């Protein structure tokens, strides 16, 4: 059950970077936050611990990368492991959100920005924002 108000933290999982977006249930707004480093998909848990402590989210949303035809992707096994550890470590409710086409939309948003964000970390954070925006639309 989604609480009426509170902070929602969304994640776009990557093997080298995990994008993070922060949102708010009342306004259903999502902001690009940034990405934390990961090694082979294992996040910098110490850095993530401090972010969780600082933002005190009451809900996590994690991007779930289905193939375009709706079948499961090989990458989902790694994301399932990350999601399980996230939920276990912080004891915070977690939702999975279909993230098909978020990378494409993130690239389009990057091209629209004059600064021309190039690095993978920023692409992941924009994807996390898109995942969270999609999730907010899905609960209306």
121 belongs to a structural domain: yes
126 belongs to a structural domain: yes
Taking only Cα atoms into account, the Rg of the chain, rounded to an integer number of angstroms, comes to 14
Q: What pTM was estimated for this model as a whole?
A: 0.84
Residue 21's Cα: distance from chain center in Å? 6
93 belongs to a structural domain: yes
Which DSSP string corresponds to 81-116?
HHHHHHHHHH---EEEEE-TTHHHHHHHHHHHSTT-
Q: What is the pLDDT of residues 47-77, one digit of tens each?
A: 999 999 999 999 999 999 876 777 777 788 8
Q: 118 vs 55, which has greater pLDDT? A: 55
1 belongs to a structural domain: no
Answer whether residue 27 shows pLDDT above 70: yes
* Overall average pLDDT of the 89-113 stretch: 74
Domain assignment of residue 39, given as a range: 7-138
Look at the chain and report how many structural domains it folds into.
1
Q: What is the pLDDT of residues 79-99, one digit of tens each?
A: 999 999 999 999 999 999 987
Answer whether residue 119 shows pLDDT above 90: no
**Which range is most confident: 22-36, 41-55, 64-78, 109-123?**
41-55
pLDDT of residue 109: 60
Residue 2: its H or E element: none
Neighbour tally for 132: CB within 10 Å: 29
| CATH number of the domain where residue 88 is located | 3.30.420.140
pLDDT of residue 33: 77
Label residue 30 by pLDDT band (50, 70, 90): confident
pLDDT of residue 1: 44
Q: At what angle do helices 102-112 and 120-138 cross, to 10 degrees?
A: 120
């Amino acid at each position: 059950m989604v609480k009426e108000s509170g902070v929602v933290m969304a994640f776009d999982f990557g093997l080298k970077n995990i994008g993070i977006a922060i949102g708010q249930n009342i306004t259903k707004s999502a902001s690009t936050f940034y990405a934390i480093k990961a090694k082979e998909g294992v996040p910098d848990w110490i850095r993530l611990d401090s972010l969780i402590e600082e933002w005190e989210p009451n809900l996590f949303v994690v991007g779930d990368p289905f193939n375009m035809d709706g079948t499961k992707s090989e990458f989902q096994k790694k994301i399932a492991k990350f999601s399980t550890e996230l939920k276990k470590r912080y004891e915070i409710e977690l939702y999975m959100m279909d993230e098909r086409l978020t990378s494409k939309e993130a690239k389009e948003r990057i091209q629209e920005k004059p600064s021309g964000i190039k690095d993978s970390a920023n692409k992941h954070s924009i994807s996390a924002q898109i995942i969270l925006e999609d999730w907010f639309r899905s609960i209306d």
